[in-house]
Chain A
Amino acid sequence: MAETKEKSLSDEKPKPRVRPIVRLGIFLISHSFHVSVVCCTAGVLALFLLPVLAKNTYISENALMPGSASPMLSNQHVSDGNRLVKDLTNPNSKSSETGIESHKIIAQYMLDLGAEVSFHKFHPQMNQFHPLHFFSSPDSGKIQENYSCSSYGINTVGIIRAPRGDGKEAIVLVTPYNALKSGFGEALSLGIAYSVFSLLTQVTWLAKDIIWLVADSQYGEYAAVAAWLREYQTPKFSSLSTPNAEMCPDVNNLFELKGHSISGSKFSNSFRRAGTMAAALVLKVRDQNEQFEDTISIYAEASNGQMPNLDLINVVNYLAVHRQGLRVNVEKLWSLLNSSWLKSLGEIFESLAKVAKSLYPKWKFGIPATEYVEGTATLASSLYYQALGVPTGPHGAFRDYQVDAITLEISPKFSLDKVWRNDILLRGGRLIEGVIRSVNNLLEKFHQSFFLYLLTSPSKFVSVGVYMIAFALLIAPLPMVAASLYVDANSSSNCSKGDSSTPSAITDTDEHSIAIRSWRWLNSAKLVFIVHLWGAIVSLLPYFISQIPDCSPTTSFMIWVLLSILSLLTLNSVLASPLACAKATQEKEWALVKSVTISSVFIGLGLMSVINFATAEIGALLMVPMCLLAQPLKLDVRAGTLRSFCRMICNLVLGHIAFPPAAFFLLKGMLDGFGNANVGDFWMWVESLWAWNSATYLFIGMVELPCWVLCISILFHTC
């Protein structure tokens, strides 16, 4: 603002000496068009360059020492694990209806190892939309009245106390298990966990306690883990309204299992704890697999794009690749792998790198085109899942309590013979053992390596310092364009007025009119504020709509749209119209509106980049061109040149794409094909966003949607 004032002053009476920083500002503002074009192109280009700029991961924390000890997991432990798998897949154990039998089996196995065992009963908590619960820490006090005995889950928890540890810290191993319809994979994951567990009861190097949580996944893996964590971290001591699960008959006979057992004291009804959690591993084994290799997939994204410390991923990757010979996968957008334009882009980068290398042999930044395509696909999915803000697995629950956690999904090449099964048990078990041993070595909590990063492959990452550049370039033009628009609007109206009025009048009204004119932007600011208010109302609406019983997603969506439009019209008529009409006659009004819009978008994007970078990046990709290009269609039509025609087309296209539902359908269509797109899908998607308390939802409702509405209103501005 200071710069613009300076500029307006300098127009009136030329000064001989302007300070260089101001001069630079004026220069940038006066050439804002070129600057913004250059910056935006550079921003997009930098985004596509990220896979090339990715660095190799390295283990930053020296104390981890992965793989420095030879694995101790022997065939003895594997056969123990195998025994459990057999017992669990045995048809006898599945006979009971509630699956309590298999919980008993697991608990008995744990007890035989000398671990402390307890059951944790929980009622699955439906995710509900709480408008004020964004960013708030997870709390315990959601009391629901409609608990019944039929709907509860049982987590089986086994704890090994470190014989020489001080019991202050713990490592959590989670295996989701659905007792009712468990696949072979789940049983196998239990087998792996059990073989590791049986090893860990004997080792002497343990410094942290080990918690093995068999999460009852019949109500979803996340719900079970989250319920256990809630009880662990924020227990509720008073049970006033909730009927206790102890009243239910089934649960009671669960606790009868060990009257005679040797370690009777080791089993307890109450909830057991073990210190501060240092790290958590979620282990899954996928049932079917069509690949040719044993692979292991790492899922790391937690809610709102939070990532676990990179060292945890590094350790898993290092051990899996270099010790166990497993292939490590990170989620990719598969559809991008076959796209030809990416391939050609990669080839261009490759050839550029070759040229650079021939010029100066020390420049080695090129990567092969195929690697580039893969890197881009991984990066895109990394961005997408972070932007979505929905955790990709049960590990997300841990991140809410500042515990680093990842999900490992082993997908073996499928065959049923015993040798193969033993092999998977051995290698999977050794991998888990190695990771646990590394984390066990850790003196401090994970803090050395990165928390803000994007993965381009399991062993390559882009750190925050690099990927911020792309974003900063994208949003850099926004304040400049806003300033230049403001200056233009002010000065041009000045000129026009100055021409029309008589010289005598200038002297009287000059001061006054300047004062009025310089406050004119407040009107536009009011408009922008009203639209943002509307955005807030729109984002609150789904809460009320979800209260309506028996609504299909499509109808809900329709109601939402209708209510939104209605509220926009109401707000417009109540608040905006009387004043807006008076000022609407002024020319260049749209420029002011655009200027304020751009400023607000800049603020919104800047804030969002702190909360969830990926969302801000994707939002900036959509919104920045739209904001910068927006200009009343009438002006373009009137001008009739090729340039304005192009701009008009761009505007129309962007105006369609940037509408959140349209963007969603476009993305969905690109990924899954347009055939099965349904209007209700958007509603479902939005529902999942708010259920997970994703900040993306707020961003869409309060930044992107208002921005779109404002841009559209600029497009159709009557000037």
Chain B
Amino acid sequence: FDPIPSSNAKPPGVELWAVFDAPQHLIDALWKNLTHTLSGLFCASINFLESSTAYSAPEWSFPPASGKLRYGTLPREAVCTENLTPWLKLLPCRDKAGISMLLDRPSIYRGFYHSQRLHLTSTGSGSEGMDPGIILEQTLTVVLQPDSQRASLAHANEKHIQPSWSLSSIFGKQISGRCVLAETSNVYFLLDRGLVAELDHIHKENEKSEENVLISEKFWNNPSFELSAKPDRIFKEESSLLSKNASVLYKFEIEKYGESEPFDLGLFWKTPVVWLCQQAPLHANRFLMGSGNERGAIAISLKSTESSEGFMGSFFNDERCELRVDVFQVVPWYVKVYFHSLQVFVDQQPKAVSDIIEKIHVSPSKDKVSPGVMELVLTLPCSVSSAVLTIEFDKGFLHIDEYPPDANQGFDIPSAIVSFPNFHARMVFLENDSLNKSPLLSKFQEKSPVMSYTEVLLVPLTTPDFSMPYNVITITCTVFALYFGSLLNALRRRVAEEERFLKDK
């Protein structure tokens, strides 16, 4: 599977997880320090993760696990330029030179998706051959759409070609030389497996020429598209058992380009190509059920994607083929989940929970103290076409000062993480010698499970009428006055005595 989307596609908001190499009782304090530091560093309200209602300690959902891991999300925290600037400051040349010159704010924030990521690993004395220190890995993922005349697309029936692009047309900037401090400065350009297969197909049909044209040197200028710059290297992925297709990676070294000759990679399409990215084996989807302010249910639905169907069939031919799915879900305490109400439907048939769930770890929420955590390991038959998990909840009441400023919008449930440990997102490239140099490529080669995040859910909770403190005060005062008046009356007066008093008169 493709490692790029699998490891870089994140849900909206902030996601922070950290493994602490510290004694158990210190971890929470360290976590607080960490959140505050990061929050100050990135001008984001990561410090909200400090409160114990915001983070959780998953047991075994994340690979390095072992109880020293803390995980927290803030789904509502929007990423903005004020977060990007401190992120850029961590780069040696900021956005003044090198590849980061491309990061023109308007064009980045015009995109469909962007996320910035920071990965800190401290290499202690244990790792050999390296000085003790901290490795900082910064990733910025952006999904951009090439400018094109979309209006004209609407009319064209078959003939339209996907828009051509170049770095300057997407980012509005070009790379002029590398950052002097950088050791290596490369641009990689990846042709997706699906695309390569499709191109292959087209190529064969058109020319009937010899096989393996794709890796030939001339591929950067082939009948389907044209690259404006000549790649310095071409990597071809090792075709594995999983798929016959292999992706192709082009490497461009920035060092060769300078002020006079800025690097501007462009792609010009010649023929229309339609391809699909490889999808995770199951498409995860989460939604709310029910209505009203009292209760509801969360449903996580897993649908098998058509693309993976055949492939799963070919891969697992033996009898008891099973698909393992890990689900990790954190719910805030005001969404009071009843874990006993967990129901599983496989292919529209209700199934006993114990048949499907291999392992389950639940830590129920404590009001105003900690969120509820649910970790599940499901084993589904490979032929599954749809599976649904539902779990019911009651909506809790918050204290008036616990409501956020925009309480009437509703409250977010952080997205669930669905991962497929049987499937690994990695690319193995043929030329192994040069790979050691490039951290990016070696990252691609790492084995990591395919992960996907579900949507963030918006739960409307009951909200008090914030705009009417006056009314509340008046009514409360009236009630108090009536109550105390009648209470005092009842305490003070004795009926018999009064009557005797009257008679005496």
Contacts and interface: CB of A to CB of B under 8 A. Distances in A.
A445 interface: yes
Contacts of A164: 112
Given A400-B291, A443-B406, A202 B150 contact: yes
A265 B390 CA distance: 26
Nearest to B390: A237
Contacts of B292: 137, 402
Nearest to A401: B291
Interface stretch (B232-240, B394-402, B408-416): B408-416
A209 to B, nearest CB: 11
B344 to A, nearest CB: 9
A276 B410 contact: yes
25 contacts: A76-B151, A80-B154, A164-B112, A166-B13, A166-B456, A167-B456, A168-B410, A168-B456, A235-B289, A235-B299, A237-B343, A237-B345, A238-B348, A238-B350, A239-B348, A240-B349, A270-B303, A273-B285, A276-B410, A276-B460, A401-B291, A443-B406, A443-B409, A444-B408, A445-B409
A168 B457 contact: yes
A402 B460 contact: yes
Most buried by A among B151, B343, B390: B151
A112 interface: yes
Contacts of A234: 289-291
Nearest to B409: A444
B154 A113 contact: yes
A233 B154 contact: no
Contact of A275 (B154, B390, B407, B458): B458
Contacts of B460: 276, 402, 445
Given A168-B410, A444-B408, 16 more contacts: A15-B502, A80-B154, A163-B112, A166-B12, A166-B13, A168-B457, A169-B458, A198-B154, A202-B150, A237-B343, A237-B345, A238-B345, A239-B348, A276-B457, A444-B409, A447-B463
Given A204-B110, A273-B285, A402-B460, A238 B291 contact: no
Contacts of A16: 502, 505
Interface string A480-516: 0000000000000000000000000000000000000
A247 interface: no
B481 to A, nearest CB: 14
A597 B463 CA distance: 39
Contacts of B287: 273
Contacts of A131: none
Contacts of B288: 276
Contacts of B13: 166
Given A16-B502, A163-B112, A402-B460, A265 B350 contact: no
Given A233-B290, A273-B287, A447-B463, A167 B455 contact: yes
Nearest to B407: A444
B502 A445 contact: no
Contacts of B406: 443-444
B412 A137 contact: no
Contacts of A265: 276
B453 to A, nearest CB: 12
A198 B153 CA distance: 12
Nearest to B145: A163
A166 to B, nearest CB: 4
Interface string A115-148: 0000000000000000000000110000000000
Nearest to A446: B408
Interface in A262-302: 262, 264-265, 270, 273, 275-276
Contacts of B285: 273
B29 interface: no
A597 B445 CA distance: 84
Interface string A167-205: 111000000000000000000000000000010001010
A237 B502 contact: no
Given A239-B348, A275-B458, A443-B409, A202 B151 contact: yes
Contacts of B337: none
Contacts of B350: 237-238
Interface of A: 15-16, 76, 80, 112-113, 137-138, 163-164, 166-169, 198, 202, 204, 233-235, 237-240, 262, 264-265, 270, 273, 275-276, 400-402, 443-445, 447-448
A237 to B, nearest CB: 4
Chain B residues touching A, range: 35 or more
Contacts, number: 87
Given A16-B502, A234-B290, A270-B303, A168 B455 contact: yes
Contacts of A169: 458
B241 interface: no
A237 B463 CA distance: 31
B26 interface: no
Contacts of B276: 264-265
A48 to B, nearest CB: 29
B274 interface: yes
Contacts of B463: 447
B388 interface: yes
Contacts of A80: 154
A201 B110 CA distance: 15
Contacts of B408: 444-445, 447
A137 B295 CA distance: 11
A110 B386 CA distance: 26
Nearest to A109: B154
Contacts of B467: 448
Nearest to A445: B408
Interface string B161-191: 0000000000000000000000000000000
Contact of A237 (B110, B388, B457): B388
Nearest to B295: A137
Interface string B267-304: 00000001010000000010111111100000100010
A137 B410 contact: no
A558 to B, nearest CB: 40
Contacts of B112: 163-164
Contacts of A137: 290-292
Contacts of A402: 291-293, 460
A167 B12 CA distance: 9
Contacts of B458: 168-169, 275-276
Nearest to B345: A237
Interface in B335-376: 343, 345, 348-350
A85 to B, nearest CB: 16
Contacts of B386: 270
Contacts of B407: 444
A275 B151 contact: no
A443 B455 CA distance: 19
A238 B110 contact: no
A168 B345 contact: no
A238 B349 contact: yes
Contacts of A233: 289-291
Contacts of A202: 150-151
A342 B408 CA distance: 43
Contacts of A237: 299, 343, 345, 348, 350, 388, 390
B228 to A, nearest CB: 25
A168 B412 contact: yes
A291 to B, nearest CB: 35
A263 to B, nearest CB: 9
Contacts of B349: 238, 240
A229 to B, nearest CB: 9
Interface string B1-45: 000000000001100000000000000000000000000000000
Nearest to A235: B289
Contacts of B289: 233-235
Nearest to A168: B458
Nearest to B305: A265
Nearest to A238: B350
A233 B298 CA distance: 11
A401 B293 CA distance: 10
A163 B150 CA distance: 15
A265 B283 CA distance: 12
Contacts of A239: 348
